[in-house]
Amino acid sequence: MLRLLLLAFALLPFTVHAQDRPLRDMEPARPNETDTPSTIDAGHVQFEIGALDISRERERGEDAREWSVGEIAMRVGVLDNLELAVTFQPHIGQSERIGQARQSATGFGDVIVGAKVNLWGNEGDTATALTIRPQLTLPTAAGDLGAGQVEASIALPFTATLPAGFGLSLQPTLSRQAAQDNDGTVTGYRAAAALDHDVGAANLFAEYVWEDTGESGQPASQVLNLGGTAQVTGNLVLDAAVGIGLNAGADDLRFLTGASVRF
């Protein structure tokens, strides 16, 4: 992990960007599932920190909870349309109760490394924007806390400006991920769509996420996310969101909050 962080910082002196150009508007990738197509300005770094992320699911006498504290995503602008990112979770946990018995585990989570290449709309001068975002999940977590093997995904974040100040975000994602029994891999599909609107210094959104993990006999999950971000300064954004499971395949409830800061 330390080597990945040092490599990302080492790239900063070699980035190519226009020194006199003002920075783009700050657009964190969190807390919604639809990522922003905008990349970090070359020569800059943005930390997106999850203060708390907790979810809960209750079904037929079972009570499962998962949480993450202090998740850090570091996004580094390499070119004007290219960024590299490293995400790690220093402390995650899960707890499951079946009947009167409860099992729990805590530890370091998996590490996600990825890139984002903006195809158009990075400067905000077009009504739409599109990006390609490949990622790899590295199995750094102990036991059953993580994937247990390398996972890969590719997403296409897309945004469009709508009338009356609304914004539309779409993101299809294709992934190759570990099977639940950790025996082989399965192909998963995710589709997310969100509407957002600025209200003063805040941006509020409503988002629908459908995900099929590719597991045989498992229903696709459907989730409604509601939340927003608040622009404190030009380089500081606070966020919070709640996720509501719409079917048996999804967690009943999820809450997350955090902040993003740019240098």
Query: Does the pLDDT of residue 159 top 80, yes or no?
Result: yes
- pLDDT at residue 97, rounded to an integer: 81
Query: Does the pLDDT of residue 256 top 50, yes or no?
Result: yes
At the topology level, CATH places domain 2-18+30-262 in Porin (2.40.160)
Record the tokens describing residue 230, joined without a space.
């608040």
- pLDDT at residue 7, rounded to an integer: 58
Closest CA to 180 of 131, 140, 214: 214
Q: Which residue type does 68 have?
A: S
Question: How far is the C-alpha of 92 from the C-alpha of 150, rounded, in Å?
Answer: 18
Q: Which residue type does 173 have?
A: T
Question: How far is the C-alpha of 214 from the C-alpha of 175, rounded, in Å?
Answer: 10
pLDDT-derived band at 171 (thresholds 50, 70, 90) equals very high
Give the start-to-end residue ranges of the domains of the chain. Answer: 2-18+30-262
Please give the residue that has the higher pLDDT: either 216 or 188. 188
Record the tokens describing residue 43, joined without a space.
């020569």
Record the tokens describing residue 12, joined without a space.
């900063």
- H-run or E-run covering 71: strand 62-79
Segment 204-213 shows an average pLDDT of: 96
Question: How far is the C-alpha of 180 from the C-alpha of 217, rounded, in Å?
Answer: 12
The pTM for the full model equals 0.89
